[in-house]
Amino acid sequence: MATIEEMKQEAKLRMIRLNLQPAVLEKFEEGTLYITSAQGAVRELSPESDYFELVEKLKKGNKLPYHLLEDIDSVSILFVSNESADWPLEEEYAKQHSYMAYVSEFEYPIFAESGFISIISGPTGIKRVG
């Protein structure tokens, strides 16, 4: 099992691979998370956000959230688990643009689950595509 510091290092590597803005990475190191909207806008996650409770739930489950993607009908929370033995496989998936995330649909939050999602990154940011 990984320590929180090892998880933070792994999260930073994934954020770099996703080509997130340097300011987002810097703020992550200070404990701040950001959300990328469906339109590509990036904003800070505030404690008043509807997603804050989901992030806290993941943390209690030995997962380290590092970025959120907001879609029209769902939110995807990218995370690193404390199971470092899984990281090499997750890195292989990342080469195929697939990242581990907790996904919660707005209409049916009871069906929230963790799994791999497809993400593309470009000059305007990142976007979930599958």
pLDDT digits (tens, 9 = 90+) for 7-63: 999 999 999 999 999 999 999 999 999 999 988 899 999 999 989 999 999 999 999
Q: What is the pLDDT of residues 105-115, one digit of tens each?
A: 999 999 999 99
Write down the pTM of the prediction.
Answer: 0.95
Residue 28 has what pLDDT?
97
d(CA 80, CA 74): 20
d(CA 112, CA 35): 18
Which residues neighbour 56 within 8 Å (Cβ) at sequence distance 6 or greater? none
Comparing CA positions, the residue from 48, 53, 43 lying closest to residue 21 is 43
Q: Which domain holds residue 81?
A: 4-128
Q: Tell me if 75 sits within 8 A of 68, measured CB to CB.
A: yes
Residue 122 has what pLDDT?
81
H or E stretch covering 35: strand 34-36
Q: How many domains does the chain divide into?
A: 1
Q: How many of the other CB atoms lie within 10 Å of CB of 29?
A: 11
Q: Percent helix, strand and coil across the chain, each rounded to 5?
A: 35, 35, 30
**Predicted confidence band of residue 130 (pLDDT cuts 50, 70, 90):** confident
Instruction: Reply yes or no on whether the pLDDT at 93 is more than 80.
Output: yes
Instruction: Reply yes or no on whether the pLDDT at 123 is more than 80.
Output: no
Instruction: Reply yes or no on whether the pLDDT at 124 is more than 90.
Output: no
